[in-house]
Amino acid sequence: MYYVDCGSLYDGTGSELLREARIVVEDGRVNEVGPAEDVAEPDGAARIDHSDETVLPGLIDAHLHLWGMRSMEPFVSVTESNRPALKAARASMDCRALLDAGFTTVRDVGSDVALGLRDAIAEGEIPGPRIYTSGRAFSQTAGHGDRHYLPKRWLDTDDDPSVVDGPTECRKGARRRIRQGADLIKLSTTGGVLSEKDEPHQSQFTDDEISAFTEEAHRVDMPVAAHAQGASGIKNALRNGVDTIEHGIYLDEEAVSLLKETDAVLVPTLSIVDRICEHGADHGLPDWGLEKAARVRDAHLESIRWAYEEGISIAAGTDFLGPDLVPHGENAMELEIFVEDVGMDPEDALYAATGGAAATVPDDDVGTLSAGDRADFVAVNGDPLADVSLLRSSIDAVYLGGELADP
């Protein structure tokens, strides 16, 4: 057991900053928390001094990919697809970078190595954040996850297909992920920016196909995430039980109403679009990806501003992959975009990366610092509610399950 004296404490629940606070940690969990004058120093417990810093829950990136990618060029990902050991080794370094950056929980929504990384971190074999992963994400033929730029015969050797068609294949695919031990199901209900032959506004998967995924997942209390950029695909996903909407580029009034009605969480991933538009041409991205990113950028920001004004639940996620253009470790830039470009209050942006993002994962003991929660927290030099960029520059210490992460 030990206790932490905090100059200021943000507990991730949406409450105001608490000055001169104390956290008591026992067996990797928060035992007691509150004003220092109300929380006694436990007899014989060690004291950790963060009395000159702001303490807050470990940050959560609710949408990323632990692929171990180091290039944005489409054909590189293909040539490395049969080298899982290389990708896992690289992704383990990304996990270290995420933890160093204050991210103690991440939600991976599409990777073929994240299941192993999750288990290795849980076993203490490698350092990294808590991982919740979908394993490989699902797409229809000619959908966002289908590699349109390759001949189909090159892709017909997969013994665990992620390109599925019809309710039966979708249902069986969901059951495969359940068997593999995934934490959630991910599917694409629209086209996308980084897929060649489809468009963000085009809907994908039928109602019967989407409901096959959600029925199987919800049967075992597993959440479902949908890559959904256009309004029609967003609405199809929500009507058929999807729990989180990823991206949400083109919202309309009905989509906003459904987000409210279903209490779904919106994960905007503005960071990747920003990076593609500003620097993508220097990193091997194809012209069709650059053109689509430029075309959706303003509409994306407008949709997220609207969602925020309407009180939609928003979680922070970057869609970062690992290459220099979108490196893990820089993930807190999403909060800067929330504040500077969306117009969020800093408190709401911080909530989107703590308690708000926690709503996207199956467990209810991360993202906040209340009694009984996992003792995942960070100490920051300065006040991130006054300057959210401090979360990228001034993380002083990171604790995962009550243990100080090695610098």
State the CB neighbour count (10 A cutoff) for residue 133. Answer: 26
Mean pLDDT of 82-87: 89
- Measured CA to CA, the distance from residue 40 to residue 48 in angstroms comes to 14
DSSP 27: T
Contacts of 160 (CB under 8 A, 6+ apart): 136, 176
Buried residues in 166-182 as b, exposed as e (16+ CB within 10 A): ebebbbebbebbeeeeb
| Matching residue, tokens 């699902």 | 138
Q: How many whole angstroms separate alpha carbon 330 and alpha carbon 349?
A: 16
Residue with tokens 């050797």: 157
d(CA 369, CA 145): 37
Residues 225-281 pLDDT 10s:
999 999 999 999 999 999 999 999 999 999 999 999 999 999 999 999 999 999 999
Handedness of CA 32, 367, 362, 235 (dihedral sign): positive
Q: Which residues face 163 on adjacent strands? A: 139
CA-to-CA dists, residue 15 to 24, 252, 257, 368, angstroms: 19, 31, 26, 11
Give ranges for CATH 2.30.40.10 in the chain.
Answer: 2-58+367-404
Q: Where are the CATH 3.20.20.140 domain residues in the chain?
A: 59-358
Residue closest to 346 by CA, chosen among 396, 390, 297, 307: 390
* Model pLDDT for residues 119-174, shown as the tens digit of each residue: 999 999 999 999 999 999 999 999 998 876 666 665 555 667 899 999 999 999 99
| Cα separation, 34 vs 330, whole angstroms | 31
Nearest to 59 by CA among 269, 312, 271, 332: 332
Distance CA 59, CA 97 (A): 13
pLDDT surpasses 80 at 79: no
Fold of 2-58+367-404: Urease, subunit C; domain 1 (2.30.40)
CATH H superfamily, domain 59-358: Metal-dependent hydrolases (3.20.20.140)
Q: What is the pLDDT of residues 303-333, one digit of tens each?
A: 999 999 999 999 999 999 999 999 999 999 9
